[in-house]
Amino acid sequence: MNARRSQLLWFWLFTGPALLGFICFSLWPMLYSLWLSLCQDDVVTPSRFIGLRNYIYLFFYDPAFWQSVKVTLIFTVVQVPLAVGGALAMALMLNEKVRGLGFWRSVYFLPSILPQAAFAVVFGFIFQADGGLLNELLSLGGIKGLAWTTSPEWALPVLIAMSLWAFGYPMVIFLGGLQSVPRELYEASRMDGAGAWARLRHITLPLISPVIFFNLVMGVIGSLKVFDLAYAFSVAQGPNIQPGGPARSTLFYGLNLYQQAFGYFHMGLASAMAWLLFAFIVLITVFNFRFSRRWVHYEN
C-alpha cells in the first residue's frame, strides 16, 4: 500500500511540470482564444463581446481572408502531391540497395532541417530579376528571364518550387515503410514473371498505403501552417514588397492571421481565424482517418 502511494506521489511529481504546461500553454489559451474570437479586442482597450460578428465579417466582408484561403489551397493542392510523390520516388530509388545509402539519404534530407527563413532568403536571391542565378542560367540559353519574385503571377509558383526542396521527413518515413515490406513477396512475384511496374503497382503501393496516407495528411496540415517561408521570402524582396506580397499573391493563411493579430492588433478577428484553422485541422484528421479504412490496406 505504501509503495503504491509513493508511486502515485512520484507520478504527479514527474508529470507535474508537463501537466502544468498543458494547462497554462495549451488548454487555457485554447479556451480563451475561443472566447476572444467572439470579442472585439485591440490589446489596449478591454475586450468587448460581439457574438459571431468576427466570423460573419471573415466570411462575407473580408477579401483578404478569402485571398489567403485561396493561396493556401493552391499551395496545398499543388505542393503536397508533388512533395509526397517526390519523396516516394526518392525512397524507391534509395531502397534499391544502392551503395552509400547513408550519404544519399543525408544529402536529400539536409534541406528539410535548414532554417526556412534562411532558405527563403537564399531562394529570393536565386530568383532575382537582375543578377539572380536562374535568370543568368536562362540567359546562357538565350532566354530572357522574368522578374519572378516581384510578379504576382510567379511569386507563388516560386514559393512552391522552393518548398519542394524539403521532402526529407516523408522520404525517410517512406524508406522505413518500404523496408518493412517482406522480401519474399518480391521474390515470389519474380518467379511468377511480374515486371518492375507490376511489383510496384500490386505489392509495394498497397502495402505502404498507410504510409502514403500518413504523409499526405501531415503534408496538408503542414501547408495550412506555412509562415516562416512566406514571411522571410517577402521581406527578402526589400521594402517595396509587403509580407504576403506582391499584391497579396503569397498571403498564406498563417501569414494573414499574423498580420491581423500583430500588424493591426485585430486580436478577436485573428482568434476567429485561428479557430477556423483549428476546426479544419481536427476535421481533416478525424475524417481522413475514418475514410482511410476504406482504401488503405492495413496489415491486420
Q: Which of residues 93-132 bind other proteins (CB under 8 A)?
A: 93-94, 96, 98, 102, 104-111, 113-119, 121-123, 125-126, 128, 130-131
Least Cβ distance, residue 34 to other proteins (angstroms) = 9
Residue 73 is a binding residue for other proteins (CB under 8 A): no
Least Cβ distance, residue 201 to other proteins (angstroms) = 18
- Report yes or no: 252 and 226 within 8 Å, Cβ to Cβ: yes
For residues 174 and 63, what is the distance between their CA atoms, to the nearest angstrom?
39
From 56-64, 74-82, 197-205, 227-235, span contacting other proteins (CB under 8 A): 227-235
C-beta of 74 vs 92, nearer to other proteins: 92
C-beta of 14 vs 291, nearer to other proteins: 14
Least Cβ distance, residue 169 to other proteins (angstroms) = 5
Residue 136 is a binding residue for other proteins (CB under 8 A): yes
- Report yes or no: 129 and 149 within 8 Å, Cβ to Cβ: yes
Q: How many residues does the chain have?
A: 300
Which of 55, 57, 154, 278 touches other proteins by CB under 8 A?
278
For residue 34, the SS3 value is: helix
Considering Cα of 220, then 158, then 116, then 68, what sign does the dihedral take? negative
For residues 259 and 262, what is the distance between their CA atoms, to the nearest angstrom?
5
Residue 141 is a binding residue for other proteins (CB under 8 A): no
For residues 28 and 23, what is the distance between their CA atoms, to the nearest angstrom?
6
For residues 125 and 196, what is the distance between their CA atoms, to the nearest angstrom?
42
Considering Cα of 232, then 237, then 241, then 246, what sign does the dihedral take? negative
Which of 54, 204, 250, 271 touches other proteins by CB under 8 A?
271
- What residues are paired with 40 via a beta bridge? 48
> What is the grid cell recorded at 96?
534499391
For residue 40, the SS3 value is: strand
For residue 38, the SS3 value is: coil
Least Cβ distance, residue 278 to other proteins (angstroms) = 5
Q: What is the 3-state secondary structure (H, E, C) of 186-199?
A: HHHHHHCCCCHHHH
C-beta of 74 vs 235, nearer to other proteins: 235
> What is the grid cell recorded at 61?
466582408
Q: Which of residues 10-39 bind other proteins (CB under 8 A)?
A: 10-11, 13-15, 17-22, 24-26, 28-30, 32-33, 36
DSSP-assigned letters across all residues of 50-95: -TTHHHHHHHHH-HHHHHHHHHHHHHHHHHHHHHHHHHHHHHHHHT
- Kindly write out the interface string for residues 149-168 of this chain, putting x where it contacts other proteins by CB under 8 A and - elsewhere: ----------------x---
Least Cβ distance, residue 74 to other proteins (angstroms) = 20
Size of the site for other proteins (CB under 8 A): 96
Least Cβ distance, residue 21 to other proteins (angstroms) = 3
Least Cβ distance, residue 255 to other proteins (angstroms) = 10
Least Cβ distance, residue 248 to other proteins (angstroms) = 19
Residue 77 is a binding residue for other proteins (CB under 8 A): no
- Kindly write out the interface string for residues 169-208 of this chain, putting x where it contacts other proteins by CB under 8 A and - elsewhere: xx-xx-xx----------x--x------------------
